[in-house]
Structure 1
């Protein structure tokens, strides 16, 4: 399993979630393997959103076996909640709310990524990985034959080190070191121009506080779980905000927006603009009116979506965000981390054991970009254009989640050994579901455009509480919710078609402001 003519069997670039996970999975199965993790930072920073989906929850608890750490140091997440309003002055009791009535059945978590990443990196080192931190990789010379790869590494303290390795795993995150070095990096700016600002806040008024429930008694009704421990989303045309509670008492809050449809309020700083935007939503005002931000913890990304054309080559492979990232709306970033890390570990193990792994490399280079494109078209392409309409989002929420549970979630729970090393929406069944999802997403984009033209966009953003009649699980209950979503979709099609086109559309949401628009009858 080890190579005597190299310094290391594997060098991992990046020690956060994906890099540490790869080190853990390799070392616990092959203690003799020589693995070096190179991490450039002295401490880990925050990420875009800090929440997991059910698939990532499965990877954390059943593959990495981190249930105890997660229970002790992070919040159990109870679903996703979405809040809609017609005007910033709406009463909280009048808002339309979408979200679960009961606690989640499968493990999901609100993560403090800095704590989790440090814990995983320590565990990788406890298994025997060598760590060089903080250190910067200055040069990478990839071999095109059987010769080892060569890296020049500069520690923050000390002299330049030149090391050789049989395998190189790129877990460099958004830096995407190998993808950019090899000219494989592709931005989705033209078709998904999304940006994000986020910060940590303290002294936040939770939705389940005495103050909140005293001011708005409706918050005591209809929901049998805590709203605070859900991922709460504030929704609008072209944007959404996340509000995520963390175990130290702070909240992660951020806004992600599509620059084609929305512009943040002006302000003297990114933090001021984020705060001003939070105040435009009734839930945002209720929670953040007296909140205290950590100004040093404010981050901004201009272009969120990107991917690599290929993710594997001659004894190198990319994992996690180094391979690509789409959108934080459904918290699927760690899903791809789980799949790509599992596939990379399988590839490295088999290659170092002497197997011919060219077929696996070829598969990853075909399956990853295909899966990325299918998932993007299904879930995110132009979705921000109808994000401010509660009826349309209710339909897509039911459809998206039920398809997700019937497909990727059921797969990793029922057949983990095979599913984790393959990409989501694999095979004919996966392709069929992805095609169906992309079709209804296109229909909702069209319905959103028609509703704006007819002046009924956001017509149900007040006065509704839409909650699934059961907790989601990867079985027949998801199929029932799929049918419920189809019925809501059909109703949206009919109401949009029957709505007349007035000569004057009095108000409509555009770029976060109320605007008048005149159209031809």
Structure 2
């Protein structure tokens, strides 16, 4: 019979695996429960360059460098009229190797992360379901789990870290989940073989963001190894799934491709190699990051939006920041909410900076226009795009961005007024 762990981590995704690895590196007894058997499918394939420092700390860099994952040097935007921006090359900000990152196949990447956690001493238990989390008031005190053979057992750690993804076991139990009313989006995606890639090595692994006609939505276009490209559309929930209208995912995807010639050209002649997938209303956060004896990390805390590929970056950062707070608390005998959630304010500042950038995109923000008008802030924009969002100097960019946004709104209003004036008037 193994000793009770000091910390139990629920979920073996990037957030849970990161938190577990750091705690094990710090000498704590950590057990991780994962309900599935890895490798398993998951969407969300693009890393931000700032994840380099996380991967370095976790001892993952050599594994990534020797992997088949496609190298990513930039992100590029395509307008609804088909105009392509210059690529935002991350190395222009910093010529260090940290400015190159990867497009990952999540089944392979998450498996590497879980194996890495085990190699650092984490007691990883796959195909093990958490049936219940026990509370004494607001304090989490233990768990009931079901083992792969169907037997159950109870475990009583000092701290429980919930990295259960959108299942959000503790957040749902305590009713902490808060949807983002401004980001009621949906997505439909699939994977294609032999789709077009950019011709040179710097751009062939670039993430492309391509707007649909009328800026009603956008496509991600993420090259992967084995000649596969992940292609997905994101739009308002009501736009993709109107009430009272029944369409297959294939029909929805085809209609959106027709609204985006830049994507249609790229996938013409390719072969779809998976089913279509969908997810809806995925933007939310919990009202707390922690409580006495428990912490939320990754998607168990919240998810922003796929537009800038920030999901893995925020998962990693929450996992590391939470692990540091938990480790300090265990060493000091303090597992209070104040201690376990001490990382929350800094994390939320970074998340909110990304959220402002997301809101701006959906309000029509144009990177090219902004950089031409305020070239001195290109570095700040690039910092946001690489995920280096946990520094106050970035806040200098918001006032100039608002100036550009106001000009865009004024231009759109003028065009709308001109269009209204040109409408023929019915004569009575």
Fold similarity call, TM over 0.5: yes
Q: Which runs of 5+ in 2 are unaligned?
A: none
Alignment partner, residue 70 of structure 1? 64
Q: 8 Å contact 1:257–1:384 — kept in the other structure?
A: no
Deviation at 1:8, TM superposition (A): 1.6
Equivalent of residue 234 in structure 1, options 206, 210, 215? 210
1:157 corresponds to 2:136: no
Equivalent of residue 102 in structure 2, options 98, 109, 112? 109
Please report the TM-score for the alignment, with normalisation by the length of structure 2. 0.84
Alignment partner, residue 263 of structure 2? 284
Q: 8 Å contact 2:293–2:340 — kept in the other structure?
A: no
1:453 corresponds to 2:421: no
Q: Aligned partners of 1:324 and 1:400: how far apart in 2?
A: 29
Q: Aligned partners of 1:159 and 1:367: how far apart in 2?
A: 41
- Matches for 1:57-456 after TM superposition, within 5 Å: 57-60=52-55, 62-71=56-65, 72-86=67-81, 95-100=83-88, 105=95, 106-143=99-136, 149-188=141-180, 190-208=181-199, 225-236=201-212, 237-259=215-237, 262-263=239-240, 268-296=247-275, 298-356=276-334, 358=336, 359-361=338-340, 363-376=342-355, 378-381=356-359, 383-386=361-364, 392=369, 402-403=379-380, 424-425=389-390, 430=392, 433-434=394-395, 436-455=396-415
Please report the TM-score for the alignment, with normalisation by the length of structure 1. 0.70
Deviation at 1:396, TM superposition (A): 9.6
Distance change >3 Å, CA 145–CA 180, structure 1 → 2: closer
Alignment partner, residue 32 of structure 2? 37
Q: 8 Å contact 1:81–1:231 — kept in the other structure?
A: yes
Q: 8 Å contact 1:49–1:242 — kept in the other structure?
A: no
Q: 8 Å contact 1:101–1:225 — kept in the other structure?
A: no
- Structure 1 residues 413-441: Cα deviation after superposition (integer angstroms, max 9, x where no partner): xxxxxxxxxxx546xxx1x643x444444
Deviation at 1:292, TM superposition (A): 2.0
Q: Aligned partners of 2:377 and 2:185: how far apart in 1?
A: 20
Q: Aligned partners of 2:216 and 2:138: how far apart in 1?
A: 48
SS of the residue aligned with 2:266? helix
Q: Which runs of 5+ in 1 are unaligned?
A: 209-223, 412-423, 457-500, 507-515
Deviation at 1:367, TM superposition (A): 4.1
Q: 8 Å contact 2:146–2:152 — kept in the other structure?
A: yes
Between stretches 447-456 and 246-255, larger displacement belongs to 447-456
Alignment partner, residue 4 of structure 2? 7
Q: Aligned partners of 1:254 and 1:263: how far apart in 2?
A: 12
Deviation at 1:393, TM superposition (A): 6.7
